[in-house]
């Protein structure tokens, strides 16, 4: 590779106190209305949408080229809350290049990383500040907020990994997480 094509090293500020990226170049926002079809209680989600369609989660990025060899990284911020009695969660996805792994370092909040493979294996790992969850290749992944504050993670994955939402939307995750009688229930 010629020297002109080399990326320049750079630094990005991460506000560890507030669990935010400083001056992100890009921000992906998903509202309640973007979550249709994902929760068990569709009517409860519709009520949240008609009640103001609040922010569900946000992903802060300073993107790098979507190429093999690069490392994409972001801060994922999932709001706390319930749809009926089901804990707020992200849509979840496989990577378009399924053999790419991902690291989630939790900076704030409480929750789970829910994972499944296309042949039906399911696993979930606890997330709380200082827990680093390793999502191996081939595992679809979704974060779930079981706490009262935001669930925030710093994520790192291969630059060209991509997001495949379609397959997991069709398959669904085998387990859901609820708050019932003050207790977190996975079923
Ligand atoms: C990207 C990584 C996260 C998620 C984010 C939102 O590979 O796993 O940045 O994109 O947590 O979730 P989702 O499922 O809507 O992309
Ligand atoms: Zn991912």
Domain boundaries, the chain: 19-186
Q: Which DSSP string corresponds to 81-148?
A: -EETTEEPB---BB-SSTT--EEEEEEESEEEEEEE-TTS-EEEEEEETT-EEEE-TT-EEEEEE-SS
The atom of ligand 1 lying closest to the CA of 28 is 6
Q: How confident is the model at residue 4, as a pLDDT?
A: 61
What share of residues in the chain are helix, strand, coil (percent, to 5)?
10, 45, 45
Q: Which residues pair with 58 in a beta bridge?
A: 29, 77
CA of 100 to the centre of ligand 2 (A): 9
Q: How confident is the model at residue 5, as a pLDDT?
A: 78
CA of 148 to the centre of ligand 1 (A): 21
Q: Give residue-wise pLDDT tens across range 117-138.
A: 999 999 999 999 999 999 999 9
Protein residue with least CA distance to atom 6, ligand 1: 90
Residues 55-70 have a mean pLDDT of 97
User: Considering the chain, what is the average pLDDT of its residues?
Assistant: 97
- Whether residue 135 contacts residue 168, with contact meaning beta carbons closer than 8 Å, is answered with no
Residue with tokens 């999932």: 78
Q: Give residue-wise pLDDT tens across range 5-58.
A: 789 999 999 999 999 999 999 999 999 999 999 999 999 999 999 999 999 999
- pTM score, two decimals? 0.96
Cβ-based neighbour number of residue 50 at 10 Å: 10
pLDDT greater than 80 at residue 101: yes
Q: Give residue-wise pLDDT tens across range 148-161.
A: 999 999 999 999 99
Q: How confident is the model at residue 77, as a pLDDT?
A: 99
pLDDT greater than 80 at residue 1: no
Class of the domain covering 19-186:
mainly beta
Who lines ligand 1 at CB under 6 A?
A: 59, 74, 76, 90-93, 102, 141, 143, 155, 157, 163
């Amino acid at each position: 590779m010629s020297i002109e094509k080399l990326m320049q090293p750079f630094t990005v500020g991460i506000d560890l106190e507030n669990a935010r990226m400083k001056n992100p170049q890009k921000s992906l926002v998903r509202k309640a209305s973007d979550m249709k079809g994902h929760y068990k209680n569709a009517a409860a989600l519709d009520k949240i949408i008609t009640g103001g369609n609040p922010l569900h989660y946000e992903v802060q990025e300073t993107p790098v080229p979507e190429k093999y060899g690069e490392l994409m990284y972001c801060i994922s911020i999932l709001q706390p809350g319930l749809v009926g009695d089901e804990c707020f969660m992200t849509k979840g996805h496989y990577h378009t290049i399924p053999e790419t792994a991902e690291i989630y370092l939790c900076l704030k909040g409480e929750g789970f990383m829910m994972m499944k493979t296309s042949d039906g294996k399911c696993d979930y790992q606890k997330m709380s500040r200082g827990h680093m969850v390793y999502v191996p290749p081939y595992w679809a992944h979704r974060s779930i907020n079981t706490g009262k504050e935001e669930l925030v993670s710093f994520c790192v994955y291969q630059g060209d990994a991509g997001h495949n939402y379609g397959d997991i939307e069709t398959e669904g995750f085998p387990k859901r997480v609820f708050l019932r009688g003050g207790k977190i229930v996975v079923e």
